Amino acid sequence: MKKPDVLMIGPYPDWEMPALEAAYQVHKLWLVDDRDAYINRHAEDIRAIATRGDLGASAELIEALPNLEMIGCFGVGTDAINLTAAQARGVKVSNTPDVLTGDVADLAIALCLAVTRKIPDSDVFVRDGSWNSSTMPLTSRFFGKRMGIVGLGRIGMAIAKRASGFDMEISYHNRNKRLDVPYHYCETVEALAAQCDYLVAAVAGGAASKAMIGSAALIALGPEGYFINIARGSVVDEAALLHSLQNGVIKGAGLDVFLNEPKIDTRFAKLNNVVLLPHIGSATLDTRKAMGKLVRDNLAAHFAGKPLLTPVFA
């Protein structure tokens, strides 16, 4: 029996490839010089796309594959996949939720601590010998403060659980108020920012959340407040964020995501009140292996005629 043809937009970790190549005819698009010609040549054969959250699948690509049945995404974010085009064509889409929730939530708390207690600066202070002749400036306390979470989904809930262990008062803003949580609901992002010390973005990316955290929210957060982003760079007005960090509108930020990654705005690197990470929220060996397995399990379920394990839409 002929193996199903799967178009891979970009590479997965090396350990994933043997299992994928054993089960499917894998077309490695990232190795091709003329992508359009390659797609045209193999368009009739492709039944599935295997992509990543940062690479997605455009409407043009979806339309170019007449026998496309599903898209499997290595990652929880699907904002780079044209879901409208997929739904219009009846193409199923899966992603990898839950398996990365804990790691991303851990990193959110790590960023809070790193920027508040100036952990990167303290490391440099010891390494460069400054400790021999001076002492580090005092920092702020983290535990017992107020956290506001923008987006109380799987990751937002995991962050709230961890923050509660630090005796924090937790509030949130969501598209809809949740009736199953004890946390205070705020109708707007600005109202949330006004009553917290840490504003944490955990909302899904996409058009609905684009720049939803803007100047007004950052002003409301205030000169003693910190902004933490483990969601998508698009959820904050980046120009407003840079202005706020440069001019003391907020005290600091911890950022794992940016616009135009990895070619981020160079002004971030000149700031001493921000901790910068290279989008590593789910970047542990444990989680990446679980993500890869879930992609493969969804592909296997589809080609066996079974429901997807983690469909993005019904």
Catalytic residues, by residue number, are 232, 261, 279
Bridge partner residues of 25 (DSSP) = 5
* Cα–Cα distance measured from residue 152 to residue 160, given in angstroms and rounded to the nearest whole number: 8
Residue positions counted in the chain:
314
* Cα–Cα distance measured from residue 71 to residue 190, given in angstroms and rounded to the nearest whole number: 36
Q: Largest Cα–Cα distance of the chain, in whole Å?
A: 73
Contact status, residue 83 vs residue 95, Cβ threshold 8 Å: no
What are 144's two structure tokens?
Answer: 């017992």
Query: What angle is formed at CA 140 by the lines to CA 137 and CA 145, rounded to 5 degrees?
Result: 180
One-character DSSP codes across 57-101: B-HHHHHH-TT--EEEEESS--TTB-HHHHHHHT-EEE---STTH
Nearest to 73 by CA among 309, 261, 281, 314: 309
DSSP helix/strand/coil, 223: coil
* Cα–Cα distance measured from residue 151 to residue 171, given in angstroms and rounded to the nearest whole number: 11
* Cα–Cα distance measured from residue 243 to residue 283, given in angstroms and rounded to the nearest whole number: 30
What are 147's two structure tokens?
Answer: 């956290």
